[in-house]
């Protein structure tokens, strides 16, 4: 049996498989199942500021028929906001009381003051870490890449300077200069960077001529982008890198670690196969390590990162140029 334990943001995990933020970790029962399945850690379902606002609007619809009343509106929104914050704090407390694995809270807001309020609530409730879910969809033609990134960096700096907890930042795959952005996150104090979030996919229903949801779960072909960026950034930044999206097998976890990931986050594979699939992932990792003579994760990590490949420039290849890739 190989030693699968890893350090993550100053915590010791018994293995590198973290269950990513999702409905799987939205309540105490789900979190207990995640621990029982053998996860290294869990990220709670994100507390979304926008989600609270939408729920408040629905509640308000239920109360009001006819005239909209501004004071009633404010009251309902305020009560629901306070309720949602305290329900999330209770979830953290309950998870901490029920389980021994690290509990990482996840937050996503749009107003700067709400980021701070959520941060303080998570800190006070006793989570082991915070994950900033930096999903941020700006589709204004007026916002330059620099402005958007600077705005995001301010959020990260503000959260970090207002908590004693270690902070991970989970980002999407769309940045013009990924390497620079990842480096800035690390420089500004992110202890870990999760590469990448997989955002809600949109599609169209041609029968109903209406909007519809796209592919809910990732496929294994989607892993390549995260693998590439972990391979490129490993050793370039102080922050730990967490590989995520499209990880479906124990061998996929091994690949992420070989590229340089400190740990991984998995979500779709558990929705598709049940949380007990954790044991298949762990066995797959173990078997590969045994067969290949590795008895600890630390011996594997970053062996195939760009830095270790000493100038072979493998991870940066992205065009099918026959003389370089052998494929045309």
Ligand X SMILES: Cc1cc2nc3c(=O)[nH]c(=O)nc-3n(C[C@H](O)[C@H](O)[C@H](O)COP(=O)(O)O)c2cc1C
How far apart, in Å, are the Cα atoms of 161 and each of 93, 113, 127, 176?
23, 13, 17, 27
DSSP H helices, the chain, are 28-37, 49-63, 70-98, 112-125, 145-161, 178-187, 223-233, 250-259, 268-273, 277-291, 297-300, 322-325
Cβ proximity to ligand X, 3 vs 249, nearer residue: 249
Q: With contact defined as beta carbons under 8 Å apart, do 285 and 241 qualify?
A: no
- Of 6, 9, 22, 281, the one binding ligand X by CB under 6 A: 22
Cβ proximity to ligand X, 46 vs 84, nearer residue: 46
The yes or no reply on residue 301 touching ligand X (CB under 6 A) is no
Least distance from ligand X to the Cβ atom of residue 277, Å: 11
- From residue 195 to residue 234, the character string flagging contacts with ligand X as x (rule: CB under 6 A) and all else as - is --xx-----------------xxx----------------
The yes or no reply on residue 244 touching ligand X (CB under 6 A) is yes
The CA distance from 218 to 267, in Å, is: 9
Least distance from ligand X to the Cβ atom of residue 47, Å: 9
The CA distance from 133 to 262, in Å, is: 19
Cβ proximity to ligand X, 188 vs 249, nearer residue: 249
Classify residue 153 by burial, with Cβ atoms within 10 Å: 0-12, 13-18, 19+: middle
The yes or no reply on residue 170 touching ligand X (CB under 6 A) is yes
Least distance from ligand X to the Cβ atom of residue 215, Å: 10
Least distance from ligand X to the Cβ atom of residue 221, Å: 11
Which residues are near ligand X by CB under 6 A? 20-23, 45-46, 106, 133, 170, 197-198, 216-218, 244-247, 266-269, 271
């Amino acid at each position: 049996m190989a030693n699968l334990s890893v350090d993550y943001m100053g915590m010791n995990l018994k293995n590198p498989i973290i269950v990513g933020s999702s409905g799987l970790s939205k309540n105490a029962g789900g979190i207990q199942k995640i621990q029982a399945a053998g996860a290294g850690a869990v990220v709670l379902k994100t507390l979304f500021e926008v989600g609270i606002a939408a729920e408040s609007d629905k509640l308000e619809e239920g109360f009001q028929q006819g005239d909209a009343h501004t004071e009633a509106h404010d009251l309902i929104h305020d009560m629901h906001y306070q309720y949602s914050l305290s329900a999330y704090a209770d979830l953290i407390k309950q998870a901490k009381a029920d389980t021994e694995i690290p509990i990482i809270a996840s937050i996503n807001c749009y107003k700067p003051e709400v980021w701070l309020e959520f941060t303080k609530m998570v800190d006070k409730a006793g989570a082991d870490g915070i994950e900033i879910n930096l999903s941020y969809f700006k589709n204004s033609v007026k916002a330059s890449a620099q402005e958007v990134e600077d705005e995001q960096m301010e959020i990260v700096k503000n959260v970090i300077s207002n908590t004693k907890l270690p902070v991970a930042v989970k980002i999407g795959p769309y940045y013009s200069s990924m390497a620079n952005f990842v480096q800035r996150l690390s420089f500004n104090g992110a202890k870990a960077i999760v590469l990448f979030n997989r955002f809600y996919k949109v599609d169209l229903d041609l029968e109903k001529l209406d909007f519809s949801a796209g592919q809910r779960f990732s496929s294994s072909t989607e892993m390549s982008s995260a693998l590439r960026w972990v391979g490129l950034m490993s050793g370039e930044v102080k922050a730990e890198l967490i590989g995520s999206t499209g990880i479906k097998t124990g061998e996929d976890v091994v690949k992420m670690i070989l590229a340089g990931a400190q740990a991984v986050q998995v979500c779709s594979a558990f929705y598709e196969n049940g949380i007990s699939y954790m044991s298949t992932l762990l066995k797959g990792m173990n078997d590969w390590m045994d067969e290949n003579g590795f008895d600890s994760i630390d011996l594997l990590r970053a062996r195939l990162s760009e830095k270790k490949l000493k100038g072979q420039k493998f991870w940066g290849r992205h065009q099918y140029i026959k003389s370089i890739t052998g494929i045309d």
